[in-house]
Structure 1
Amino acid sequence: MPTTPPGFLILDDALAGAREGDALLLAGEEGRHAAKVARIGAGERVLLTDAPGRQVLAEVTAARKEQLDLRLLADPSPAVQRLPRLTLVQALATGGRDEQAVESATELGADRLVPWIAQRSVSVWRGEKLAKGRAKWEGTVRAAVKQCRRPGIPEVAEAVTTTRLVEDLRERAADSALVLVLHEQESVSLMTLAEELRGASEAGVEEIVVVVGPEGGIDETELDALRGTGARSVLLGPEVLRSSTAGPAALAVISALVGRWG
């Protein structure tokens, strides 16, 4: 008979140094959700994960109003270190399409997500929206982590303008990163880099960055600036995909080529 999988909960960084038999407390928003919404009770087993990707099975020893008392049933697994790391630079988009991209990218293995305020972005974060927008992306990431039960929680970076993005990409390219800009008018396709991507780890590439523009496309001056960092513009495929789809689709292809799905 199939068994029901245990609940999946995020414990942030609390698994560092933890051992079998240790007692831990799950409080805060995650504890409230587990106790009041998911109604996880004493005696149930849950699978815990933290930001670096450690995971461990635990038993609920007590369920309080807004927190759970837990006992670890094993030593946590080691933190996940997958190379090359995958970063998605996602231009802000309307209609929640950027959040859709963030959700799918998290499920498909992105390690870092960067909100980009591009010149043609209709949705723009300013003032209080900078913190609120980032917090909303972080909430989307955590929900997606729990949905797919992946190890590790992707980092959501601060929103960047094109100027700051160019500076950051130049530094990363100098530090062995491969930067790919998706562009619908490029003649060179992503799949022409298949062999290079398959050998990325052996070649010392520690990070692959995928840059996705807004609904109106990447402005030509921005594209020139991105190429000036050493980034390469590539065509994803024959169809023009929405901004919510392009990044996750590229990450799926890259994940297969670099061996994450092998």
Structure 2
Amino acid sequence: MPATPASFLLLDADLAAARAGDPVVLAGDEGRHAARVARIGAGERILVTDAVGRQAPALVVAARKDSLDLELLEDPREAPVRAPRLALVQALATGGRDEQAVESATELGADRITPWIARRSVSVWKGDKLAKGRAKWEATARTAVKQCRRPGIPVVDAAEDSRALVRDVRARTVAGGIVLVLHEQEHRGILGLADELRGAREAGVPEITVIVGPEGGIADEELEELVDAGARTVLLGPEVLRSSTAGPAALAVLSALTGRWG
């Protein structure tokens, strides 16, 4: 069997109790795509993962119209424990830049993503768009997981307006998390917190959150409220990055500093 099967597929099933030799059905949208579009057939070996990040190689026993019947070839590997968790609060943006941020953040290891309807957001989710927008971000994250073969699918929260985000930030900081707001007018760079961030795992910090504002910037009153709730403002770097780039760039820095990379 090749070391890395060619196809990487996401299961809705939980592999916690699964063992080598167990049958598993790949159904739903993923099964339909695998059978109809990817045309994965009987006899092929694939790699499957559940939402938590448990992974196992599997043999396709039968290919049906909208699903695949699989047999696990090994006991599933437990998802690696990556601490602290990394979270992105991404303000809605135009031109698909927020979805680009979700895609890159997922590839760079984000564990949680929160859509933010900021006061200066040009793109706004209301009514039916709340559910549709979240579903689109979830689909973007799932596709990115398949591309990079990372363990675990990031959680995409329901969209929050600024008032809800302030409450959320307060809860995250009270729980021991670190919340960083990227702000181009701040003088303190993110590397100024390097020692604290390097020691976050040993200190038991459960989660580090990065907040990225909309194209028009974070309103002064929003920034004040977020800081009052426990967030800290930091400068990411000398350049002013697009909304689609800032969050993923910050997550890359955090992955290196916290030891999640290396």
Q: Do they superpose with TM above 0.5?
A: yes
Q: How far apart, CA to CA, are the structure 1 residues paired with 2:12 and 2:261? A: 25
Q: How far apart, CA to CA, are the structure 2 residues paired with 1:257 and 1:50? A: 28
Paired residues for 1:203-214 under 5 Å:
203-214=203-214
Query: Which residue in 2 is equivalent to 1:123?
Result: 123
Paired residues for 1:159-170 under 5 Å:
159-170=159-170
Query: Which residue in 2 is equivalent to 1:24?
Result: 24
Name the stretch that deviates more: 197-206 or 6-15.
Answer: 6-15
SS at match of 1:110: coil
CA contact (8 A) 1:102 1:141 kept: yes
Q: How far apart, CA to CA, are the structure 2 residues paired with 1:71 and 1:4? A: 17
Report the CA distance between 1:4 and its aligned residue.
Answer: 7.0
Q: Deviations over 1:110-169 (max 9, x none)?
A: 000000000000000000000000000000000000000000000000000000000011
Report the CA distance between 1:81 and its aligned residue.
Answer: 2.5
Paired residues for 1:100-249 under 5 Å:
100-249=100-249
> What is the letter of the counterpart of residue 200 of structure 1?
A
Query: Which residue in 2 is equivalent to 1:12?
Result: 12
CA contact (8 A) 2:114 2:158 kept: yes
Q: How far apart, CA to CA, are the structure 2 residues paired with 1:31 and 1:13? A: 12
- Compared CA separation, residues 162 and 217, structure 1 to 2 (3 A): same
> What is the letter of the counterpart of residue 160 of structure 1?
E
Q: Unaligned 5+ residue runs, structure 2?
A: none
Q: How far apart, CA to CA, are the structure 2 residues paired with 1:162 and 1:242? A: 20
Normalized against structure 2, the TM-score is what? 0.98
- Compared CA separation, residues 101 and 61, structure 1 to 2 (3 A): same
CA contact (8 A) 2:87 2:210 kept: yes
| Poorly superposed stretches of 4+, deviation over 3 Å | 2-5
Please report the RMSD computed on the Cα atoms of aligned residues, expressed in angstroms.
1.1
Report the CA distance between 1:5 and its aligned residue.
Answer: 3.7
Q: How far apart, CA to CA, are the structure 2 residues paired with 1:254 and 1:219? A: 25
Q: Deviations over 1:90-110 (max 9, x none)?
A: 000000000000000000000
Q: How far apart, CA to CA, are the structure 2 residues paired with 1:23 and 1:5? A: 18
Report the CA distance between 1:52 and its aligned residue.
Answer: 0.7
CA contact (8 A) 1:200 1:258 kept: yes
Q: How far apart, CA to CA, are the structure 1 residues paired with 2:4 and 2:17? A: 29
Report the CA distance between 1:211 and its aligned residue.
Answer: 0.2
Q: Unaligned 5+ residue runs, structure 1?
A: none
Q: How far apart, CA to CA, are the structure 1 residues paired with 2:41 and 2:223? A: 53
SS at match of 1:104: helix
**2:62 aligned with 1:69:** no
Normalized against structure 1, the TM-score is what? 0.98
Query: Which residue in 2 is equivalent to 1:34?
Result: 34
